[in-house]
Structure 1
Amino acid sequence: MRVLVVGGGQNSEHEVSLASAAGVAEALTVGGYEVSTVTISREGIWEVAGVAAGAAAADSLALAMQLIAEVDVVFPAVHGAVGEDGALAALCALAGVRVVGSGPRAGAVGMDKWVTKLVAEAAGLRTARGRLIDAADCGDAEFDGPVVVKPVSAGSSHGVSLVRDEGELGAALQEAARFDRRILVEEVVHGREIDVAVIREAGGVRWAAPPLEIHAAGLFDTAMKYDGSARFTVPAVLSTADRARLTRAAVTMFDALGCGGVARMDFFLTAEGPVVNEVNTMPGLTPASQVPRMFAAADVSYVDLVSRLVRAAEVPGR
């Protein structure tokens, strides 16, 4: 089977996307697939043979479409905007090519933290109380206690701040506005940070890997995610009841969004039960990333995991 692995992307998660793509390509090669790769630059240029210096993104995409037409499956290991948000899945849908992961609708909704909250609440799941602010209205925002400020559509905790007093709010809003004009301000939720990965196998069966707990003193921010200081416990030490609640909530969220492939659901586990924090429809997929760690705890190796994702690939919308 011929697989095209796409990495990079024109957003703040470019570097981690490159790492995910490299790991996926190597694992698929070990798994016996015929693998080709392509990188999307920070400027949106598809780096393929024949692309001239200074070429427009559309010109490079026209050349890249030949690569897409020649493979059986596209594996878009691109995180963040213009990638994970359903853009690449939509491209594959138009081309009639099977793609790993969620389709355009689930990708777009999952990338939008505000809409994700609305879906979670409609599905009967708890979320943190929050409000939406436009970047143009940052100067009018009121402080109502410790809050977390985050861009609505960004990943890897870019632009996320924990605000403890009123004097910090303006700077936090401006930082979030660097990544999205729509800003989410949420109450601080006190609980254990637990992640659950759900996979949809070929044939449609969905199941959740053992949950992972993040140990962080304060905000689990961008620096902690990638500087090696984060500590994880997998499987997380949970009661049978708590594990069942988290697994049920994760699968419910997966189904409510209409996800495919693998998605990571991030929760706070409070005394009252799970609270949905965020959803990642194309989570980090380096061998050391959280999702592969969770599936390793279920005796699914990294090579096996990416192979399962390729076998489950579909043409979106069909």
Structure 2
Amino acid sequence: MTFAILFGGSSYEHEISIVSAITLKKVLKKSGLQFIFVDAGREFWLIEPEKMKSKTFSSGEYKKGRKLTLEHGGFFTVGGGLLGGKKKKVEFDVLLNVIHGRDGEDGKIAGIMEFFGIPFIGPRLEASVCSYSKLDTKLLAEALGIATLEYRLLVKGGERRVDLDFPLIVKPVHLGSSIGVSVVRGSEEFDYALDVAFEFDDQVLVEPFVEGIVEYNLAGCRSSVWELSLVEEPQKEEFLDFDKKYMDFSRDEKVHEAVIDAGLKEELEGAFKKIYDPLFLGSLIRCDFFVIDGKVHLNEINPVPGSMAHYLFDDYESMLERLAAHLPRERSIPIDYRYIDRIQKAKGKA
């Protein structure tokens, strides 16, 4: 099977996406791979596998490659030289959406892929909308009966006070990778933390910061069966800031499974399945959970997780192939113009 790795995008997490794509080149050893880069101007470029190095993008060298157009059924090169300007389709079986943040997780890529009839692994439009916003994620969890931390929503230019006790954690609503996130231990730090968060987003969530909280990460999908990863207990200092997550996304080794009892594992897996099915069918997601006083809380949904969460699986590549073989299909709607024909006949214009 050949995968097209789509990465980059117009996002604060653009560089994280590049790191994830480079990591997947190391991880997917049996599959055929095509690499399609989306630059900051949202133009598509075909990147040769040997050019999949960070310097290719930071130096602008990628512009020496082939620019792509997107048409129904796929991506096409328009080359000079030996190609003589003739279009050539980029051949692959399934596209893998590895664009983190805006473009990849907000629904734009999902909509474009479905519109142009390109099979892809990634969150569909509704799933993207629900998980891109931390606020909507909380509302989804509430509707599913899954607990989340108490929160307050602040809007840029509006009220800056909350009725929660310190310490607090301040988060931009629409960003990942801990960008713009601050832990606030007193009122004198609160305004500054909000200034930082509002640099990246017009909406901010404020939650209690729970000292020593235990977090568990679980990834998975549903092909013909449930494909769930091991449960990881990330080792943290206070919280994973941008730099730690950036380095974390480049890892290509497996992690150790958390030491938890069967009951807690069953609760975590049950919550994951509630969240995933049917909203996230066709995607590989990671959910991050807290356990507080023995109760499972959803922290966030990662619809396009860093490095696609490969490090949580024993046989990641085979799992991706099974998922690719069981993607949801958009319903076909027959258009026969029967209604217009009836109107024309009624007017005597048939």
For residue 216 of structure 2, the aligned residue among 189, 194, 198 is 194
Q: Which residue of 2 aligns with 1:219?
A: 239
Please show how residues 20-31 of structure 1 align to structure 2 within 5 Å: 20-25=20-25, 27-28=27-28, 30-31=29-30
Deviation at 1:264?
A: 0.4
Query: CA 1:48 to 1:262, structure 2 compared with 1: closer, same or farther past 3 Å?
Result: closer
Contact 1:196 1:266 in 2 (8 A): yes
Q: Which residue of 2 aligns with 1:166?
A: 187
Please show how residues 129-278 of structure 1 align to structure 2 within 5 Å: 129-137=150-158, 140-142=160-162, 144-145=164-165, 146-190=167-211, 191-201=213-223, 203=224, 205-227=225-247, 234-255=256-277, 257-278=279-300
For residue 75 of structure 2, the aligned residue among 43, 63, 67 is 67
Deviation at 1:179?
A: 1.8
TM-score normalised per structure 1:
0.83
Could you tell me how far apart the structure 2 residues matched to 1:119 and 1:228 are? 28
Q: Which residue of 2 aligns with 1:16?
A: 16
Query: CA 1:41 to 1:247, structure 2 compared with 1: closer, same or farther past 3 Å?
Result: same
Could you tell me how far apart the structure 1 residues matched to 2:300 and 2:40 are? 25
Could you tell me how far apart the structure 2 residues matched to 1:78 and 1:264 are? 15
Question: Per-residue displacement from partner, 1:139-182 (whole Å, max 9, x unpaired)?
Answer: x3246322111011111111111111011111111111122111
User: Is the partner of 1:260 in helix, strand or coil?
Assistant: coil
Query: CA 1:156 to 1:259, structure 2 compared with 1: closer, same or farther past 3 Å?
Result: farther
1:82 has 2:103 as partner: yes
Deviation at 1:206?
A: 2.4
1:106 has 2:127 as partner: yes
Deviation at 1:117?
A: 0.3
Deviation at 1:258?
A: 3.4
Query: CA 1:85 to 1:13, structure 2 compared with 1: closer, same or farther past 3 Å?
Result: same
Question: Per-residue displacement from partner, 1:100-146 (whole Å, max 9, x unpaired)?
Answer: 122111012111110110110111111000011111126x3246322
Could you tell me how far apart the structure 1 residues matched to 2:137 and 2:162 are? 24
Query: CA 1:80 to 1:315, structure 2 compared with 1: closer, same or farther past 3 Å?
Result: farther
Amino acid at match of 1:38: I
Contact 1:17 1:77 in 2 (8 A): yes
Q: Which residue of 2 aligns with 1:56?
A: none
Q: Which residue of 1 aligns with 2:312?
A: 294
For residue 310 of structure 1, the aligned residue among 324, 327, 330 is 324
Could you tell me how far apart the structure 1 residues matched to 2:209 and 2:15 are? 29
Contact 1:90 1:104 in 2 (8 A): yes
Could you tell me how far apart the structure 2 residues matched to 1:36 and 1:228 are? 24
Q: Which runs of 5+ in 1 are unaligned?
A: 50-59
Could you tell me how far apart the structure 2 residues matched to 1:251 and 1:137 are? 37
Q: Which residue of 1 aligns with 2:86?
A: none
| Number of residue pairs aligned between Structure 1 and Structure 2 | 294
Q: Which runs of 5+ in 2 are unaligned?
A: 48-65, 77-88, 333-350
User: Is the partner of 1:126 in helix, strand or coil?
Assistant: coil
Contact 2:6 2:37 in 1 (8 A): yes
Instruction: Single out whichever of 120-129 and 247-256 deviates more from structure 2.
Output: 247-256
Contact 1:5 1:77 in 2 (8 A): yes
Query: CA 1:315 to 1:284, structure 2 compared with 1: closer, same or farther past 3 Å?
Result: farther
Measured on the aligned residues, the alpha-carbon RMSD in Å equals 2.7
Amino acid at match of 2:99: V
Contact 2:44 2:68 in 1 (8 A): no
Deviation at 1:2?
A: 4.5
Amino acid at match of 2:272: A
Query: CA 1:293 to 1:32, structure 2 compared with 1: closer, same or farther past 3 Å?
Result: closer
Deviation at 1:82?
A: 1.1
Could you tell me how far apart the structure 2 residues matched to 1:266 and 1:40 are? 28
Deviation at 1:294?
A: 1.6
Contact 2:215 2:234 in 1 (8 A): yes
Which structure would you say has the larger Rg? 2
TM-score normalised per structure 2:
0.76
Query: CA 1:217 to 1:22, structure 2 compared with 1: closer, same or farther past 3 Å?
Result: closer
Amino acid at match of 1:120: A
Deviation at 1:315?
A: 4.4
More relative contact order, 1 or 2 (CA 8 Å, 6+ apart): 1
